[in-house]
Structures are given as C-alpha cells and as structure tokens.
Chains A and B, each alone.
Chain A
Amino acid sequence: MKTPILEVRDVRKQYAAHTALDGVSLVVPEGSIFGLLGPNGAGKTSLIRIITQITGADSGQVLFKGEPLNPSHIGRIGYLPEERGLYKKMKVGEQLLYLAQLKGIPKEEARVKIKSWLERFDIKGWAEKNIEDLSKGMQQKIQFIATVVHDPELVILDEPFSGFDPINANLLKDEILAMRDRGTSIIFSTHRMESVEEMCDHIALINRSRKVLDGPVREVRDAYRTQTYEVEGKGRPMLVHPDFEVVRHQERENGHFYDIVKLHAGATPNDLLRYLIGPAGVEVHAFREMVPSINDIFIRRVRETHPDYVPTEEEMAVKG
C-alpha cells in the first residue's frame, strides 16, 4: 500500500476547560478527497490547526508522508481556513506574491504561478486591484488561489463553500476535482455533510472530540445500507410477499403510485423487480435504492455508540 499523505495517530488536545480532541486517529490516502465531517465544535478545526502546525498536539503523532510533522512540511500544505481574510489595502498580485513567498516559493517562480492561476480563473486583469475593491465572491477566488498557489501536495479546505454563490461554488468544485485528478490530496472539512458527500472518496466523522466513523464513502454507505427501495409506477401493486415489506404506500393521480419497500434478509432488488413486473403486474417508471445520507449515518452511528444521545443545538441545526 502506498504511504498515506497524512496519518494521524491517537492525537489529543486539551484546552483549559474542554477536550478538543480525544485520541483521534485517521489515515488520509494520497490523491483522494477526504471529508472531515462533524457538527460545529466537534474538533475539526482543532485537528486542522494541528496538521497545519498552528498549534501542537498534547500527545499523539501526525505523519506527513510517513515523516513526523515538521516545519519543512509547511510549504507542502495549503490551508483555506474557515475564517478567511486578506489584507484589504493590498493589491491582488502583491498579496498573492507575499503569501506564496511566505510558503517558501522564490519570488520569480511565484510570479509565474500567480499569473497562470489568474489566467485559469480568467481574472488576469485583477492583479493591480486592491482587495477592498473586489466583491466578496471575487475575494474568495483570490483566497482560494492563495491556498493553492504553491502547488501543495495536501490542500486543507475548512468549510470551503461558505460565502460562495452557486456559480462560484461550482467553479470551485470543478477546480477541486481537477486538482484531485492531478494527484493532489484534499481534506475537506465541513459540518454541512450533504454538501460534499458526492465529492469525497473517504470520510471521517467526528463528534464531540472523538472519531465516530471513517472509511471509503462507498464502504461506509454499504455498511449502512437499509435494503430499502423506492418504486414509482402505474397500476395497483398488491405487495403481499414474505420477502418484501411495504414501508410506505402512496396513491397518486391517474393510477400512479409511490412505494417504499424494504427487502427482507436474503431477497435481492432483482427479486423485487421481477415480482413487480411479473405477479404484481404494474408498469415500473422508477426503481431506486434509498441510500442513507452521510447525515443519516452520522446520527445513526452516534445513537449506536451513545444510546442516551441527545443532539446539541448545533447538531440539530445540521439535521434540520
């Protein structure tokens, strides 16, 4: 197996009154998009600040490509914090140059890279503009360029889509996928789980300073499959069968129907489909597995581990 880009081993971080991270371990495979998910205050940002060497862990270890984290890695990581900002009175070009140089890129090389990024985002003409003259969305683009201008091997994005309008959010999404395809590893941190689950290859769920669950998205989903299918069609399905159970039945106009059907152990979706078009005698318009969302999985997983779990206000907000 390839050395993972990042490995977090049993990291603990204690602040005066509360524990931010309580023995968290993660493996971020190289060249993938890794979703670090959890409600606000779960410990995501604390973990990221340890990875970016803004703070240190009380105990535990972080390995970057197998080496214990050290200052030489700073230039190989790009970080877009949740709380972002730029020097308002500085010109776009100067600002990017400054931030790239702080990452250890020589001035001339940085100039070339900035130029190509500005071209890629089609904003070449902005280099001489002051940041304060740009709209918020434009500033976000500059901020994103600042994050990736030094071609980091690992990019950490904390709530990347907050503050983006839908058009720019899509642009950003495409850029992130393109970066992944070029071999960059990406850590995505967000409390809005539904916003990134389709992009992530791997995820880790964090709740109350502990890791709750992690793995490749497909595996996680498979593990939490409920064997439930949505069926839409025309006719009057008479589903009385030992292998299936209708969870919900809804009649619609013109003899159409919408059912949610759960398979009993041993039955396959094909069995159900065969039954529908055969003995049940209906016309099937749609047949789809009801995949649990990461959000659902998160809540289920938390309930499993803490039966007395009462969601905090923030976690409720996530569900809502």
Chain B
Amino acid sequence: MSKTWLIAQREYLTRVRKKSFIIMSLLGPLITAAIFAVPVLIATMSDNNKVVAVADAGGLFVDKLPDPKEDISFTRVSPDLPAAKAEFKKAKYDALLYIPKLDLATPNGFQVFSRKGLGLSLQRDIERAVENAVEAQRLKKAGIDQAVLNTMKADVDLQTISLSDDGERSSSTGVSTGVAYVCGFLIYMFIFIYGIQIMRGVMEEKTNRIVEVVISSVKPFQLMMGKVLGIAGVGFTQLALWLVLSFGIMSAVTGSISPEKIAQKRVEQVNTAAGNTAVVVKDKETKKEGNAIVQALKTADINVALIAGCFLFYFLGGYLFYGALFGAIGSAVDSETDTQQFMMPVTMPLVLTFVVAQATLTTNPNGQVAFWMSMIPFTSPIAMMMRLPFGGVPMWQLGLSMLLLIGGFLGTIWLAGRIYRVGILMYGKKVTYGELSKWLFYKG
C-alpha cells in the first residue's frame, strides 16, 4: 500500500509541477469567464438600440407607440407605405413595421421590412408589441379601459415545488438546469481529460521501457492504482484551483459588467443550446427585472450539501470507473494511433450520456430513461448528477446507483488490472479484442 502511495505521489508531483498544469490552472477560469462574458459583450454591443419605424395605416398605435425596451425603440413614420419606405431608407432605421387597415377580429397583413434581416429576438419583440396592441384595442372595444387593465395585470413568478416522499421542496427549473449542466459537464470533462492522461502515462512508461524496472519492485496492479489515484489528485487540485480562481475572476468581471445581464444571457444560452427553451425563456420574459438565478437561488431550496457530496462521489467514482479502462487501453497498445479501436467503446457511453442528457434528462429528470441511465455505472456519474439538482430522486435510487458505481469501478479496475499486467510487457504486437479477453484469464 505504501508503494502505491509512493507511486501516486510521484504521478501527482510530476504533473502538478508541469508548466502546462500551471498554465491550465490559470487559463481555465479565464477561458470560462470568457465563454460567459464574450457573448454578453457581443450581445450588448450589437443589439444596442434598434430603431423600428412604425407606419400605422390601421391606427393600431393611435394613442401611443409601444414602450421602448432595453434594446429597441419605436418611432412613428408616415402611415402611407411608399412614403414610409422612402423615410425608412433615408433615416436608416433598423426595421419598418407596416400596419395595414385591419379588422380587429382577424388581424393580419402586418409586414416588417428590414435592411439586413431581422434577429430572432427583434422579431419576437415586434410581434409582442403588435399582439399587445391588438389585445389592448380589443379590450377597449369590449369596454375595458387600459388603466383598469394595468391594475389587473399580474406579474407572476412560478415557484415550482416538487412533491416527494421527503416532503415538499421548492425548486426552480432554471437553477436546477444550470446546476445539472455544470455538474454533468464537469464530470464529463474530468473523466475525459484525466482518463486520457492515465492512458498517456501508461503508454509513456511502456514505450520508455521503464515499466519493467518498476514492476520488478511493485506489483503491476499497484503501479496502475498509484497512477490512477495520483492523477485523481491532480484533477481535484485543478478543480479546486479553478473554483477559487473562477470566483475571484467572476466577481471582478461581474463587477464591471451588469451581473443580471450575464446571468440572464447565460440561462438563455444554456437553454437554447439544450433545446428546451419553452419553460425557462417564458419564465424569464415575464420577469421585467431581476434575473432567474439570483432570485431563484434566494427562493429555491436546492439541497446544496447533498449535491456537493454527491458531486464529489460521482466525480471520483466516474473517474475511477473510466480511468481504469483508459489505463488498460494504454497498456495494450504501443502507440497513440493504435488506441482508436479501443477508445470507441469506452468514450461512446460518455458522449451518449451527455447527448441524451440534453434531450431528456433535464426535461424529464425522473423518467424511465433518466432512471436507467442513472443506475448503469457507464452512464450514472453524469446522469445521476444531472437528475439530482431537480430533486425528487428517492434515497433508494441514489443508494443503489452509488452501490452499482462502486461495484462497477471495482469491476473495471479488476478487469483493467488483468489486461494491464500482460499488456505492459507486450511489445510490437497489434492486439485484438480476442487477445484482450484471453489476457483476463492468464495465470499470475
């Protein structure tokens, strides 16, 4: 055991002292910050103040133009379309909205002209403005005054509460999705980056031929485990550094840009990327001020301790599960190019979980697919971490998933150990799956 520790120490120290590690530790948070900040900056720069000209032939905005919003304002031009077009060209407005004479019951024939094509958000904003105006007109016709209407309008935040056996727990879908993604993505990245480091490390020892010297002193299994554990230490160190530095940089960056904006953009981005825009975007839009995350963090009672604890467990468990397999691959091949055929089956489940996660896990975190994926050790580290923030995962499921993962990584480590001890001494031979399976049953 002390020898395993010694090996882990060496693996850890040589990696942590590398220049690339230090650079990555410093650059990581900067890159993360940039990923979040750059789109916001670009958005704020390009979306700045679009001016929409309104040619109101139908008299829809007879009383009042729509209120200017953060990035659009409206201005009235001649109601006559050709004249309006001429004005539009001259004044360099961003868009021209033409409102025809209309029948309030079936309003149509609205046209928008633009110079460069409309952005999605601009189009949506114009649509809403027209819709609101039509509604207002109809209400007026029905005898309801705008002022009365304003007093009746409600600004509602949905507080979703998951009802489970453990009692009620408030949650906010937006925050949960965010937390789920961050956790899932970190585990995914960690397994990949450090799994491949294990593989490279094993290959380096093999091609350097130092492996025979070392295993005349320690058991191959100790060498493999020492490497796996040492590199895990490197990963944790990097994660810790990133967290600390990220918080530092984030507070500096968010101090200079508006924090609400960043958070809002981020939610929007995450959700459009995920393809489950509906719920959260609407939610966001109903809110005139503030942002989902800050508010939700205040109101939502996400079980931070549980999630942090589970994150560490699945972080480590998933890494051990896959790390051992990566180690086995490294031992079976002579060069990086030979790794391809063995990498596929190992990386497929990882990539798959992440892809499936975007489609189903976050939208239906307690469904059948989510359940099974969070049980099978190949997918559970990511899948379970993406379910947990939504709450409602029964304790027995969590317990079973953890047990299966422990069983799983003990299994892969055993398997990898068998392949490893034969593989590291095997040179100049292209290994097939058939051969690998034979190695499992070699004696001592």
Contact = CB atoms under 8 A, between A and B. Distances in A.
B6 A101 contact: yes
A146 B210 CA distance: 11
B213 A74 contact: no
B216 A85 contact: no
A81 B443 contact: no
A88 interface: yes
A48 to B, nearest CB: 9
Interface string B200-224: 0000000011111111111000000
Given A86-B210, A87-B210, A56 B443 contact: yes
Interface in A90-117: 90, 98-99, 101-104
A16 interface: yes
A58 interface: yes
Contact of B217 (A55, A56, A103): A103
B438 interface: yes
Given A58-B443, A102-B3, A84 B216 contact: no
A313 interface: no
A99 to B, nearest CB: 7
Interface residues of A, number: 31
B208 A81 contact: no
B11 to A, nearest CB: 10
A207 to B, nearest CB: 23
Contact of B214 (A49, A53, A90, A102): A102
A79 interface: yes
A88 B443 contact: no
Contacts of B269: none
B189 interface: no
A253 interface: no
Most interface-central of B209, B216, B425, B444 (chain A CB within 10 A): B216
Interface string A37-78: 000000000000100111110100000000000000011010
Most interface-central of B208, B213, B214, B427 (chain A CB within 10 A): B213
Interface size class on chain B is 20 to 34
A86 B10 CA distance: 14
A80 B212 CA distance: 9
B216 A81 contact: yes
Nearest to A14: B443
Nearest to A89: B14
A308 interface: no
A243 to B, nearest CB: 55
Contacts of B10: 98
Nearest to A79: B216
Contacts of A75: 217
A220 B28 CA distance: 69
Interface in A11-50: 16, 49
A85 B6 contact: no
Contact of A74 (B14, B217, B438): B217
B412 to A, nearest CB: 23
A83 B207 CA distance: 10
A84 B427 CA distance: 13
Most interface-central of A53, A54, A55, A90 (chain B CB within 10 A): A54
Nearest to B214: A102
Given A98-B6, A103-B217, A54 B212 contact: yes
B213 A99 contact: yes
B216 A74 contact: yes
Contact of A54 (B3, B6, B215, B427): B215
Interface string B244-262: 0000000000000000000
B209 A90 contact: no
A53 to B, nearest CB: 7
B217 A85 contact: no
Nearest to A103: B217
Interface string B213-238: 11111100000000000000000000
A56 B444 contact: yes
B156 to A, nearest CB: 61
A146 B213 contact: yes
B217 A88 contact: no
Contacts of A16: 438
A53 B208 contact: no
A54 B14 contact: no
Interface string B97-131: 00000000000000000000000000000000000
A101 B218 CA distance: 11
Given A85-B210, A89-B14, A77 B443 contact: no
Given A16-B438, A101-B6, A102-B3, A83 B216 contact: no
Contacts of A90: 14
Contacts of A56: 443-444
Contacts of A81: 209, 212-213, 216
Contacts of A80: 213
Contacts of A54: 212, 215-216, 425
Contacts of B443: 56, 58
Contacts of A49: 425
Contacts of B444: 55-56
A77 B6 contact: no
B218 A102 contact: yes
9 contacts: A49-B425, A54-B215, A77-B216, A81-B216, A83-B427, A98-B10, A99-B213, A101-B6, A102-B6
Given A49-B425, A85-B210, A87-B208, 13 more contacts: A54-B215, A54-B216, A56-B443, A77-B216, A81-B216, A83-B209, A84-B209, A84-B210, A84-B212, A84-B213, A102-B218, A146-B213, A147-B213
